[in-house]
């Protein structure tokens, strides 16, 4: 198990953590198995999408902002309900198959830590499971 620590500098950010996750898989020595990426936070989450064109991430951020505005008639007294809702919809974990000692990500895919209530330091837990 490994913990990747990411310090975000903005309120909302999408950090490409693919190379750090790949490094954990490489160091594990596992050739075939599964890689679990888990974010133990309620206002941050993890997802996989296009890493080549930054406009895709910009459009995801834009659409989330439109669908779940920061200010609305929310009840949660902390004032960050939009961050909780956005994170819940995206989800706090992903499982990626490992083959030949590497993540089986598609050509354009990347793993992103999404921050919705920064700046904060976040933990990403990476667990590599070996196939029998
Ligand atoms: Zn809250």
| 56 Cα to the center of ligand 1, angstroms | 27
Which single residue is written with the structure tokens 């974010």? 39
Per-residue model confidence as pLDDT tens digits over 28-78: 999 999 999 999 999 999 999 999 999 999 999 999 999 999 999 999 999
Q: What is the CATH number of the domain that holds 54?
A: 2.60.120.460
Measure 85 CA to ligand 1 centroid, in angstroms. Answer: 10
CA of residue 81 to ligand 1 center, whole Å: 6
Q: Total domain count for the chain?
A: 1
**Residue 114 structural domain:** 2-71+79-130
pLDDT at 132 over 90: no
| pLDDT score at 107 | 97
Q: What does pTM read for this prediction?
A: 0.96
CA 80 to ligand 1 center in whole angstroms: 5
Residue 79 Cα to ligand 1 midpoint, Å, equals 7
């Amino acid at each position: 198990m490994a913990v990747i620590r990411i310090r975000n500098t903005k309120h909302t950010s999408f950090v490409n953590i693919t190379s750090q996750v790949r490094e954990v898989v490489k160091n594990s020595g596992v050739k075939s198995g599964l890689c679990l990426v888990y974010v133990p936070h309620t206002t941050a989450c993890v997802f996989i999408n296009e890493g080549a064109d930054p406009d895709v991430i910009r459009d995801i951020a834009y659409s989330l902002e439109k669908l779940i505005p920061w200010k609305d008639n929310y009840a949660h007294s902390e004032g960050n309900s939009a961050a909780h809702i956005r994170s819940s919809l995206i989800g706090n974990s992903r499982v990626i198959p490992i083959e030949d000692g590497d993540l089986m990500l598609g050509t354009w895919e990347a793993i992103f830590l999404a921050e919705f209530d920064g700046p904060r330091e976040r933990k990403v837990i990476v667990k590599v499971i070996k196939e029998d």
